[in-house]
Amino acid sequence: MDPVKQKFDDAYALLTRAGAPYELVTETVGGQPLRAFRNTPRNMRELFAPAYQHGDKEFVVFEGERWSFARLLGLADAIAHQLVHRSGVRKGDRVAIAMRNYPEWMAAYIGITSAGATVVPLNSWGRAEELEFALSDAGARTVFCDRQRHDYLAPRAEALGLQLIVARPGDAPLPQASRSVEQYIAGAENAPLPAVDIEPEDIAVIAYTSGTTGKPKGAVSTHRAVCQAIMCFECSGIATAMANPELFGAMMQKGFEPTSLLAVPLFHVSGCYAVFLTSLRGGRRIVIMYKWDVEPALRLIQDERITVLTGAPSMIMELLESPLFGQYDTSSLFNIGAGGAATPPKIGLLMQKRVHNSCPGTGWGMTETNALGSSFAGNAFHEHMGSSGFVQPLIELSFRDDDGNEVAPGEPGHIWVRSITLIKEYWNRPDANAKEFRDGWFNSGDIGFLDADGYLYLTDRAKDMVIRGGENIFPLEVEKSLMDAPHVLETVAFGVPDDQWGEELAMVVRLKQPGSMDENAVREFLGARLAAFKVPRYVSFTEQPLPRNATEKVLKKDVRHAFITSHDLH
């Protein structure tokens, strides 16, 4: 057994044993025996309860505004009261949020779920057509939105039967049918939470997946699933501290108040769960960024003494490689988490170089598991760069071939997941449910393997695998290899049609300095590290940032389409 992992295993054993705060038991849900934390809140209303004890302590900082726990929870309670008593919302009714990262987003989320309604967090990057699709699909009639999303929806609000409640509407008057948040809660500012009986199996969230292809699917989560997931985040955080006492001791000596920089969207599980809800329960401060930008981020890290930063690998790399990094005081930074996509080893090396006495980490999860899957931080991260961590206590993984049969231990396979945190289904999608769910297991769409010590490695997305003359090529492996080249800023690899081989590999590369590498240099670099059939036939360079969605995933389909239309592949 790897000694570093043994420390984590020992910590989890203490935390989850009988009588411990995170005691693990087996519960039968949907006919499946699933691991669960015995002491988990029954519903999200109970999950939020500890936050009320923090009172006037500062919770949220946003562009000069400072919100206490009491202020934010007071707004949440008023929203919950008005949803029931003004809008007639009943348990299970869907209520949407369509806005950028604001304190009001958080209050709406707490208020909607505390009222027993189902919250539908929408992609704030969505345009009118995308927003309309999700609202119609979910059957949401009440929408908490910002001014930009309001103006997308207002022309169709009457036809769609929408009630629009607007945060920060600005100086321009709202249409008669719309209300500002302040107008909506008027008279209920000090109202108590409405009396609603919420069961663990009631639907809490319908989160629309930010897929890079096709229409998004509504992932349906119960109160039980979300509450168990948050408890798992807490358990993993404590286990990390127990397994890295020297790092956490150094952090404590610095004396900085735990403060997270929220630089990822709240509508995404990493922002909502790993930052917002865990901080809410733990009494920790959050500094909200309106949008990701390296220099403002560095300024906030310095001025607000940020200790925790969670972001997509591309964001973390952009920050650590910025020539501005050394110009700001980043000594408060301790925990840097890269998630949402596979983390290149290069990021780990950058963390070691730029952030001293830190506890960096990474993880793998998805909307469908309520952000759980695998994670690790600290010494384990440093010693196993390229891994996505250990499987979390509530998660079971199965690695299978294309026919659904288990593959040999250590062999890459399609990753299937079973967990009490797994979504119940996709909303209104019997086709996807029949395809992706099987006997309590869910097909993640990722390919990976566990090594002999229990470290998870992601190989690629199943749909991205390239088959060249019968040989499987995982573009992610090629991308990660090229990211080790000092001149490379970002890259994406994908398959293109080929008359002889069926498919060939192509790459689009963005360099730090244009012209610092040519096609031959790229191929030589990869050829020294990979089998010859994995070296791309086509290499193209761009000086523009690769297109990404709201969760910082490269829009590979768009890049591939642009490449094919601009190249003669025959």
Q: Can you spell out the DSSP letters for 207-233?
A: EE---SSSS--EEEEEHHHHHHHHHHH
The answer to whether the beta carbons of residues 530 and 468 sit under 8 Å apart is no
Structure tokens at 184: 């909506």
Give how far Cα 237 sits from Cα of 12, 230, 254, 313, 473, Å. Answer: 10, 11, 19, 20, 36
Q: Among 117, 37, 42, 40, which residue's Cα sits nearest to residue 76? A: 117
The answer to whether the beta carbons of residues 556 and 492 sit under 8 Å apart is yes
Euclidean distance between CA atoms 511 and 79, whole angstroms: 48
Structure tokens at 410: 């250590």
- Non-local (6+) Cβ contacts of 551 within 8 A are 210, 264, 265, 268, 270, 312, 340
Distance separating the N- and C-terminal Cα atoms of the chain: 52
pTM for the model: 0.87
Euclidean distance between CA atoms 417 and 225, whole angstroms: 14
Tokens 């890459």 sit on residue: 412
Tokens 């025959």 sit on residue: 570
Structure tokens at 536: 């791309």
The answer to whether the beta carbons of residues 366 and 375 sit under 8 Å apart is no
Give the CA count within 13 Å in the CB-facing half-sphere of 555.
14
Give the CA count within 13 Å in the CB-facing half-sphere of 41.
19
The answer to whether the beta carbons of residues 445 and 425 sit under 8 Å apart is no
Q: What is the pLDDT of residue 341?
A: 57
- Please spell the DSSP secondary structure of 78-91, one letter per residue: HHHHHHHHTS---T
Euclidean distance between CA atoms 496 and 437, whole angstroms: 30
Q: What is the pLDDT of residue 570?
A: 64
Q: Is 18 left (phi over 0), alpha (psi -120 to 50) or beta?
A: beta
Q: What is the pLDDT of residue 314?
A: 78
Euclidean distance between CA atoms 429 and 88, whole angstroms: 28
Euclidean distance between CA atoms 181 and 164, whole angstroms: 9
Q: Find the length of the chain.
A: 570
HEC readout, 407-455: CCCCCCEEEEEEECCCCCEECCCHHHHHHHEECCEEEEEEEEEECCCCE
Q: Among 234, 216, 236, which residue's Cα sits nearest to residue 277? A: 234
Euclidean distance between CA atoms 358 and 319, whole angstroms: 15
Q: Among 45, 35, 169, 6, which residue's Cα sits nearest to residue 440? A: 35
Q: What is the pLDDT of residue 115?
A: 98
- Non-local (6+) Cβ contacts of 154 within 8 A are 164, 175, 178
- Is 170 in a helix, a strand, or coil? coil
Euclidean distance between CA atoms 97 and 103, whole angstroms: 12
Predicted confidence pLDDT, tens digits, the chain (570 residues):
789 899 999 999 999 999 999 999 999 998 999 999 999 999 999 999 999 999 999 999 999 999 999 999 999 999 999 999 999 999 999 999 999 999 999 999 999 999 999 999 998 877 788 899 999 999 999 999 999 999 999 999 999 999 999 999 999 999 999 999 999 999 999 899 999 999 999 999 999 985 544 678 999 999 999 999 999 999 999 999 999 999 898 888 889 999 999 999 999 998 999 999 999 999 999 999 988 899 999 999 999 999 999 988 878 888 998 999 999 999 999 999 887 556 777 788 888 888 888 898 999 999 999 999 999 999 999 889 889 999 999 999 999 998 999 999 999 999 999 999 999 999 999 999 999 999 999 999 899 999 999 999 988 777 788 878 767 788 888 998 899 999 999 999 999 988 778 789 999 999 999 999 999 999 999 998 887 889 999 999 999 999 988 777 888 889 998 998 888 776
Euclidean distance between CA atoms 17 and 355, whole angstroms: 35
Q: Is 511 left (phi over 0), alpha (psi -120 to 50) or beta?
A: beta
Q: Which amino acid is at 380?
A: A
Q: Which amino acid is at 350?
A: L
Tokens 């096609």 sit on residue: 519
- Is 398 in a helix, a strand, or coil? strand
Neighbours of 431 (CB within 10 A): 9
Q: What is the pLDDT of residue 355?
A: 87
Q: What is the pLDDT of residue 214?
A: 60
Structure tokens at 466: 């390239």
Query: Helix-strand-coil percent breakdown of the chain, rounded to 5?
Result: 35, 25, 35
- Sort 454 into a burial class: Cβ within 10 Å, 0-12 / 13-18 / 19+: middle
